[in-house]
A and B are shown apart, each in its own frame.
Chain A
């Protein structure tokens, strides 16, 4: 496929690896934020191709992984109601809540449906006027405009049986939190290309300036990521801390202004809890008060369950790049994609699942 195949060209990839090796004179710790990028790095073995002077740590950019346990439990409460059709992106069904998951809710007779696009949830609402259709709206800035459009459209149509359980998260506040931590080791960031396609690169300039850290907006194919890593190494070696854009074929400085305007009309920024990390100030979106009629939390008066993560799961440290998945005693033993203890093992984009799938597990057999 055009714009994919050429960015998987082995010859270019090897040339970039050689370039990174030539440029690097010191040890540099880089983080890719986005779980999609983690997946590419593992799938193509890029972490093993790179010279030892470049260490990659993996960031918290997997929305499935960071959706709080409490919110999963709320989705489960909704899915169990006979008057509700709960509609979700497929990845969410296997995520363990405190006692169950949405797959088990479905097995127990709950009407839980998977869609590719939030607009399909509207279609389900139109064709089931006697039922209440709740869309489980998760995701980063990439996904938020589509979810915002679903609410906008529902209001335009006067669709009264549609609402959303919103758990949106934002990337820049998470980077800020990582950089402010006294335990931070990350010296350069690969910013997520599709988040920046929507939001542009402006917010990252503030971070680069404030923390004197280079940030390169990167794409998702192997050549994209290797080029982004090379750009970071060059900046670090030259003592620069700027925002550069590797993913120019999709990302502009100002981003997608129409999508940003819709986000602004439908959502407002709020504090948000991230699974494994805790509450991050101003790191999420919730529906604006004028869209309260579409807010499932208010409509259904959902209880705020007090819940705890399994204490043996180290996902908090994995999601902050402080530990790698094989550092966890449960990794690939008691915690596998079939029976995950923590969220990073659930989604294919979670760091633990990516390590497991692509055999980065030095496990005694």
Chain B
């Protein structure tokens, strides 16, 4: 129920007093309300829940933390045999 999915803003428009966007999720696009993230622009990713964007994905933070995780993964593959013994 509380699932929110990241999607990419393709274009934005005004619709009956609400700011909306066409947002792409993998292969499908949906019209999404931007009332809660009015500053989000084309090309950015937003987290979407029941038709509303609830946050802008912080691309820098995501990149930084993912690099950390990835280096942990790489380290683990390199030390694979050793860590198996340790565990």
Name A residues whose Cβ lies closer than 8 Å to a Cβ of B.
Answer: 1-4, 6, 9, 11-12, 14-16, 18-19, 21-22, 34-36, 61-64, 89, 91, 116-120, 138-140, 142-143, 145-146, 149, 153, 156, 192, 194-195, 197-198, 220, 223, 227, 248-252, 256, 258-259, 262, 347, 349
Chain B residues in 8 Å Cβ range of A11: 73-74, 76-77
B25 to chain A, nearest CB (A): 7
CA distance A3 to B7 in the complex (A): 9
- Please tell me which one of the listed residues B18, B50, B55 contacts residue A116 in the complex, with CB atoms under 8 A apart: B50
Q: Are A146 and B1 in contact (CB under 8 A)?
A: no
**Contact indicator per residue, chain B 42-53, by CB within 8 Å of chain A (1) or not (0):** 000101011110
Within 8 A of A (CB), among B63-80: 65-66, 69-70, 72-77
Q: Cβ of A143 and Cβ of B49 under 8 Å apart? A: yes
User: Is B52 in contact with A149, judged by CB distance below 8 angstroms?
Assistant: yes
User: Would you mind naming 10 contact pairs between A and B with Cβ atoms under 8 Å apart?
Assistant: A12-B70, A36-B3, A117-B33, A139-B50, A140-B2, A146-B51, A256-B54, A258-B36, A259-B36, A259-B54
Which secondary structure characterizes the binding site on chain A? helix
Contact A250 B4 (CB under 8 A): yes
Number of interface residues of B (CB under 8 A): 42
Name A227's contact: one of B36, B69, B77 (CB within 8 Å): B69
A89 partner residues in chain B, CB cutoff 8 A: 1, 50
Complex Cα spacing A117 to B3, Å: 13
CB distance from A128 to the nearest CB of B (A): 18
Q: Are B2 and A36 in contact, with the CB atoms below 8 A?
A: yes
Q: Are B2 and A249 in contact (CB under 8 A)?
A: no
Known A-B contacts: A6-B66, A14-B73, A197-B54. Give 19 more (CB < 8 A): A1-B6, A3-B6, A11-B76, A15-B72, A15-B73, A15-B77, A16-B72, A117-B52, A120-B51, A138-B1, A145-B54, A194-B4, A194-B47, A194-B49, A248-B65, A249-B57, A249-B65, A256-B55, A258-B35
Encoded as 1 (CB less than 8 Å from any A CB) or 0, chain B from 14 to 55 comes to: 000110000001100000010111100000010101111011
By a CB distance below 8 angstroms, the chain A residues around B55 are 197, 250-252, 256
Decide if B1 touches A12 in the complex (CB within 8 Å).
Answer: no
Q: Are B52 and A146 in contact (CB under 8 A)?
A: yes
Nearest CB of chain A from residue B67's CB, rounded to whole Å: 11
B81 interfacial by beta-carbon distance below 8 Å: no
Residues on B with C-beta less than 8 A from A138 are 1
Q: Report the separation of the CA atoms of residues A80 and B1 in the bound assembly, to the nearest whole angstrom.
A: 25
Cβ–Cβ contact A119 & B54, under 8 A: no
Least Cβ distance of A70 to chain B in Å?
20
Closest CB pairs A-B (n = 7): A117-B51, A15-B76, A12-B73, A249-B62, A3-B6, A11-B73, A142-B2
Partner of A21, one of B37, B49, B65, B87: B87
A220 to B77, CA, bound (A): 24
- With A3-B62, A11-B76, A250-B47 already in contact, the answer to whether A349 and B36 are too (CB < 8 A) is no
User: Chain A residues near B58 (CB, 8 Å)?
Assistant: 248-250, 252
Residue of B25, B38, B83 near A18 (CB, 8 A) is B83
Contacts of B83 in A (CB 8 A): 18
Question: If A119-B33, A250-B4 touch, does A198 touch B54 (CB 8 Å cutoff)?
Answer: yes
B54 touches A349 (CB 8 A): no
Q: How far is the CA of A46 from the CA of B25 in the complex (A)?
A: 26
CB distance from B46 to the nearest CB of A (A): 9
Residue among B50, B62, B65 with max Cβ neighbours from chain A (10 Å): B50
